[in-house]
Amino acid sequence: MSTVTKEQVVRWLEATAAVLAANKGYLTDLDSAIGDADHGTNMDRGFKKVMEKLPTVADKDIGNILKTVGMTLISSVGGASGPLYGTFYMRGGMAADAKEELDAGDLINVLQGAVDGIIQRGRAQPGDKTMVDALLPALAALKQAVADGQELPAAVAAAVAAAEQGMKDTIPLQARKGRASYLGERSIGHQDPGATSSHLILNALLGVL
């Protein structure tokens, strides 16, 4: 079974910053339909701050790196996405404490901790039209692929495909959480921006692997 090295974690964060910058307008367009029209701008700003901070912790363990990302996002990103994604990386980092590399079980623990953190923080359930609708299927697919004995890149690919499907599945949903929930039935027919950024982040990991 292959592993995710610390260098790959750093490259994943760099790739995440790049893909969020490239998709800033797209995410903001999605958010303008059902939110505050700031998701792309907020995520891009947060990860630019992460890139400033990363060199100071790149030699630390993976848990330390991820927790630093989380704290940076919480302090620099406005809206709901800062606390939620901050919690995602903080809790993921706690699951990777003192690790210099992640095997399949470690990666599952990181994603499990991250998703649990988001659910506790945002109180969202599956079907509420949030990032949870992309992340929970991704976690389930990762666990299944690893249980089936797939190598890590293939297992992460399965997680990314599940996240993409979960993201698309938010389109017909009526939002029950966050700003979009105020729109009621008018939120139907729009893809959730948080589910979209979650898919982009997981896809960035796949690219590095």
> What does the domain layout of the chain look like in residue ranges?
4-208
Report the pLDDT value the prediction gives residue 179, as an integer from 0 to 100: 87
- Straight-line distance from the first to the last Cα atom of the chain, in angstroms, rounded to the nearest whole number: 13
Average pLDDT over residues 124-137: 97
Is the per-residue pLDDT at 150 higher than 60?
yes
User: Which tokens sit at 58?
Assistant: 């790149």
2.40.240.10, 3.40.710.10, 1.25.40.340, 3.40.50.2000: which CATH number matches 4-208? Answer: 1.25.40.340
Model pLDDT for residues 50-108, shown as the tens digit of each residue: 999 999 999 999 999 999 999 999 999 977 889 999 999 999 999 999 999 999 999 99
The β-bridge partners of 102 are: 4
* Cβ–Cβ < 8 Å for 145, 123: no
- Nearest-5° Cα angle at 124, 120 to 129: 150
Is the per-residue pLDDT at 142 higher than 80?
yes
Is the per-residue pLDDT at 178 higher than 90?
no
Within the chain, how many helices (H) and strands (E) appear?
A: 9, 2
Report the pLDDT value the prediction gives residue 79, as an integer from 0 to 100: 79
Q: Whole-angstrom Cα distance, residue 132 to residue 184?
A: 19
Cβ neighbours around 27 below 10 Å, total: 25
Host H or E run for residue 72: helix 62-76
Is the per-residue pLDDT at 126 higher than 60?
yes
Report the pLDDT value the prediction gives residue 172, as an integer from 0 to 100: 98
Is the per-residue pLDDT at 1 higher than 60?
no
